[in-house]
Amino acid sequence: MTVTGEARRQRTSMIWLQAGSCGGCTMSALETGTHGLIADLAASGIDVLWHPSLSLASGAEVLDLFDRLICGDIGLDILCVEGSILCGPNGSGRFNRLAGTMKPMMTLVRELASIAAVTVGIGSCAAYGGIPAAAPDPAEARGLGFDGTRRGGALGPDYRSRRSLPVVNVAGCAPHPGWIVETLTAIAAGLLGAEDLDAFGRPRFFADHLAHHGCSRNEFYEFKASAERPSDRGCLMEHLGCKATQAVGDCNQRRWNGSGSCTDGGSTCIACTAPGFEAVNGLQSTPKVAGIPVGLPVDMPKAWFVALAALSKSATPKRVRDNSRADRVIVPPSRPQGGR
């Protein structure tokens, strides 16, 4: 069967706003595809009405577009928001005014969210507040649908978009470009429902995994052969703060920037997909009580972990132990003499 006879699917309109953002989610999204982000989205039926980094329209032209969206002249299917909603000082939103107007970005986001078929928080800032919400939270940074782990961010706890969805949270700091584009194209295809989101609004296609799954350091993890210094090849969990066994994301099942991932690069996992990750002090060291890491792998009873760690440490091959404390393989795998 050819697709030529198929009814042409309806186009999906999308607008992207940057609130209290670093722009990194847009930079990540731009890494997608072979023809550039906008062209790839268009091929999946998404028409970008305006993106602050990519579109021509500026000043009055943009304010006019916002007005026409809000009054319903132009239908809005997907509202993407990148960055925390800055509600300060004192709830006024003046720390993030929409330039050219006296309107706080907080207000514009609420207006557009009220008419959007689906609202998408791009990145952990828009999802939960993110780094700007770290103590002392100078700008009163909130997520759209969450304030850290608490439901009810800038849009309130009961927010539902026109398609009856809570905010879809493409968490991550910055998220993988695939998470962003696949979420948007799934929405455009009508394939993303409430059941496809986890309790924090994250699409389950990436959030049902742990960052640990597929980590290139897994043998070191199994034997608790741990890195002690940055650039050591060993597992980053015991000493260097790695939270990949607790953090959601298929980070190590897809590649970042061609060949990488945080843990592969020796960049310890700081659980950037988790609400409240910014509250942790000492992101590169593992807090312990009586030598046992406080944050244990998800679903693992403490007694089990202690017993398994002790057992695996006692059974660690010399190769694994030596390599864990070096920045390159110093003992290659080998079979006993006479083996092949």
Q: Does 260 bind another protein (CB under 8 A)?
A: yes
Binding mask 82-111 for another protein (x = CB under 8 A): --x-x--x--x-xxxxxxxx---x------
Task: Give the nearer residue to another protein in terms of CB position, either 5 or 258.
Answer: 258
Q: Does 52 bind another protein (CB under 8 A)?
A: yes
Q: How far is the CB of 108 from another protein (least distance, A)?
A: 10
User: Among 22, 109, 127, 207, which residue sits at the site for another protein (rule: CB under 8 A)?
Assistant: 22
**Three-state secondary-structure class, residue 300:** coil
User: Among 44, 45, 54, 305, which residue sits at the site for another protein (rule: CB under 8 A)?
Assistant: 54
Give the binding-site size for another protein (rule: CB under 8 A).
Answer: 82
- 63-82: contacts with another protein (CB under 8 A): 63
- 276-315: contacts with another protein (CB under 8 A): 281-285
Read off φ and ψ for residue 283, nearest 5 degrees.
Answer: -70, -20
Q: Does 257 bind another protein (CB under 8 A)?
A: yes
Q: How far is the CB of 283 from another protein (least distance, A)?
A: 5
Q: Does 226 bind another protein (CB under 8 A)?
A: no
- 130-189: contacts with another protein (CB under 8 A): 131-132, 134-139, 141, 173-174
Residue with tokens 């998470």: 179
Q: How far is the CB of 199 from another protein (least distance, A)?
A: 25
- The one-letter code for the residue type at 41 is L
Q: How far is the CB of 189 from another protein (least distance, A)?
A: 21
Q: Does 11 bind another protein (CB under 8 A)?
A: no
**Letter string b/e over residues 292-316, b meaning 16 or more CB atoms within 10 A of that residue's CB:** ebebbbeeeeeeebeeebeeeeeeb
Task: Give the nearer residue to another protein in terms of CB position, either 131 or 306.
Answer: 131
Cβ count within 10 A of residue 275: 27
Q: How far is the CB of 146 from another protein (least distance, A)?
A: 18
Task: Give the nearer residue to another protein in terms of CB position, either 159 or 256.
Answer: 256
Pair 148, 129: CB distance under 8 Å:
yes
Rounded CA-CA distance 228/236 in Å is: 8
Candidates 219, 214, 165; CA nearest to 187 is: 165
Complete DSSP assignment for 1-31? --STTSPPPPPEEEEEEESB--SHHHHHHTT
Contacts of 198 (CB under 8 A, 6+ apart): 204, 207, 208, 248
Q: Does 229 bind another protein (CB under 8 A)?
A: yes
Token duo for residue 279: 């509250």
Pair 226, 312: CB distance under 8 Å:
no
Q: Does 225 bind another protein (CB under 8 A)?
A: no
